[in-house]
Amino acid sequence: MAQENLSVVLHSQGDLRLENRPVPEPGPNEVLLQMHSVGICGSDVHYWQHGRIGDYVVTKPMVLGHEASGRVVKVGSAVKHLKAGDRVAIEPGVPREMDEFFKNGRYNLSPTIFFCATPPDDGNLCRYYKHSANFCYKLPDNVTFEEGALIEPLSVGIHACRRAGVSLGSTSVHLVCFAGPIGLVCLLVAKAMGASKVVITDLFPERLTVAKELGADFQLTVKRGDGPQQLAKSVEDLLGAQPHITIECTGVESSIQSAIYATRSGGVVVLVGLGSEMATVPLINAAVREVDIRGVFRYCNTWPMAIAMLVSGKVNVKPLVTHRFPLEQAVQAFETTRQGLGIKVMLKCDQNDQNP
């Protein structure tokens, strides 16, 4: 095994470096992985540009990356279900203790959870990385490493659609998007889970074209001057009725407002996007119409379902990858993502295998 472990390390706001770190040694319940494909997420770029997200502040050098897959090269002494050579997808959030959230199956809400590339925890944008074996999921032969890495954003879509109650018979889903990767995975999952009509809204017509190719039934181009109620009316006119469910993926205050106005009485609004801490929203309008507003924080218990969706072909995430860079060109890859080019930028960490 090569002893160099090239890693993408954020030292402070704007200071992104490639540096060699030691190859880690797995503990009894861990596996050492040779990383293969790691996607760049908006949060990675946000940490790079701003040095923080909310209360999470970069105070010491941190390896970025949390959308990842790799190959097992070494297993800890207590690991039974994995062996060297296994291809795996990595769930980046690992509970540190058996608290009440872990016990009731909502471990994503545990305040002490380890999460890749969230200060102070290192991510996996490197050649070699160790992770809890229980949060590594074996990839079937017909699922590529890149699809494995895309399970992480796909999981956000699964968790959001579960929280929204999307199922066969959900006649209409409204996605407020700025159709980036998260909006698009919510679209893919909503359709796979049985939503019969999905309308997607975005500022950029070219992104709506991609959404249409991925199965959106209606596309609505938003103009910056559009008022929230005016936008809600446009959604209703397009669908022929108000949507049962709205999934808001931007975190923008005006978009949250239009999401509430657009949703039919008795419906559900799910907030996926994270914006400023305080938002002024028409809460009384939602209350008197019994519109439920539900939050989403990452995901839990989603990897098995995501793998099943990919294996069956119910969901195709391959079109989301628009750019690929070798690990050595990480800074260029981050710049590409920052400029909003394409949809998903993928970094290839294995020098000897740059395939999807």
Residue 239 host element (H or E): helix 228-239
How confident is the model over 309-340, as pLDDT tens digits?
A: 999 999 999 999 999 999 999 999 999 999 99
> In this model, does residue 197 exceed pLDDT 90?
yes
- Cβ-proximal residues to 237 (8 Å cutoff; 6+ apart), any chain: none
Note the pLDDT of residue 1.
47
> In this model, does residue 148 exceed pLDDT 70?
yes
- How does the average pLDDT of the chain come out, rounded? 95
Least confident of 90-99, 115-124, 175-184, 225-234: 175-184
How confident is the model over 271-311, as pLDDT tens digits?
A: 999 889 999 999 999 999 999 999 999 999 999 999 999 99
Preceding amide of 61 cis, omega within 30: no
Q: Kindly list the structural domains of the chain, giving each domain's residue range(s) and its CATH number in brackets, ordered by start.
A: 5-138+317-348 (3.90.180.10), 157-295 (3.40.50.720)
Q: Please give the span between the terminal C-alpha atoms of the chain, in angstroms, as a whole number.
A: 22
Note the pLDDT of residue 3.
64
How confident is the model over 41-72, as pLDDT tens digits?
A: 999 999 999 999 999 999 999 999 999 999 99
How confident is the model over 156-192, as pLDDT tens digits?
A: 999 999 999 999 877 788 888 765 789 999 999 999 9
How confident is the model over 17-43, as pLDDT tens digits?
A: 999 999 999 999 999 999 999 999 999
Cβ atoms 243, 260 nearer than 8 A: no
The β-bridge relationship of strands 67-75 and 87-90 is antiparallel
CA 89 to chain centre: 14
How confident is the model over 105-132, as pLDDT tens digits?
A: 999 999 999 999 999 999 999 999 999 9
Show the beta-strand stretches assigned E in the chain: 5-12, 15-21, 30-39, 52-53, 56-57, 62-63, 67-75, 87-90, 93-94, 114-115, 128-132, 136-138, 172-176, 197-202, 218-221, 245-248, 268-271, 292-295, 321-326, 344-348
Give the C-alpha separation, 311 to 157, whole Å: 17
> In this model, does residue 356 exceed pLDDT 50?
yes
